[in-house]
Structure 1
Amino acid sequence: MRDGHVFPCPRDGTVPLYRYYSSKHRDHHYTTNWVELRAGGDPEGYVYEVCYVFPPPMTGSKPFFRYFNHKIKDNFFTANWAEQRGGNGDWMHEGVAAYVL
């Protein structure tokens, strides 16, 4: 099952969604905030990719949920509500990062 669709180029009503990834840490992070993870990379080896998503809900879109685990200092992202981590006390729902089709 596909979780959602993002756009490779800007479209009317979309904003950039940055995917930061570190092969060293085998970790990823998604954000629409350019400065959240040091604007495009850091000494720990994080690099970024960009795609485009809707900031507010649009017809046919669904939320891209963001969770944070304070014990392991990591985020979890999903557009599939069945995968949500809200029932696990270690994961705190931080809201909707963006909307995807």
Structure 2
Amino acid sequence: MRSNTDHYYTTDPKDMSDSGYRFEGITGYLYPEKFAHTIALHHWFNSALGDNFYTVDEPHPPSTDGYDYKGIVGYIYQKAARGTAPLLRWYLKGRGDHFYTTNPGGEIAPVTGYIFEGVTGYLFPEPVEGTIPLFRWYKG
């Protein structure tokens, strides 16, 4: 069953409002190309759920049943590095929506039923030379 709720993260600055998404801001900053000590942030999509999923696991993490690989979004740190913040992953069970934030409190995720799944990796909360923004869009 396809969810009516979805978060989509991209480094592409194009406007997604024609696709039913609302811009929510910049989640953080990552590298567009491999940089010292960084790893790829992979994008997966489940069309049955309408869910976008992001992970540093490769090539096919066990939790991606039904997900198709969409490519590399950019490069983040697997371990904390100077000036970085953890990219926290939350999941809304039953709605099939993954939500990512650098906010330690999870923004509104905990009070809206999202379950904390852990740290995906580390990115910069503010621009750093050589990084690009990771835009967050929401449909729901």
Common topology (TM > 0.5) = yes
Question: 2:70 maps to what in 1?
Answer: 48
For the residues of structure 2 that align with 1:56 and 1:100, how far apart are their CA atoms?
A: 10
Q: Is 2:35 the counterpart of 1:8? A: no
The answer as to whether partners of 2:41 and 2:76 remain within 8 angstroms in 1 is yes
- Residue in 2 that maps onto 1:77: 100
1:18 aligns with 2:33: no
Q: Secondary structure of the equivalent of 1:30?
A: strand
Q: What is the RMSD of the two structures over their aligned residues, measured on CA atoms?
A: 2.4
* Number of the residue aligned with 2:118: 95
Distance 1:22 1:71, change over 3 A: closer
% identical aligned pairs: 22
Q: What CA distance in whole angstroms lies between the structure 2 residues aligned with 1:72 and 1:31?
A: 19
Higher relative contact order by CA 8 Å / sep ≥ 6: 1 or 2? Answer: 2
TM-score (norm 2): 0.56
- Bigger fraction of residues in strand: 2
TM-score, normalised via structure 1 length: 0.75
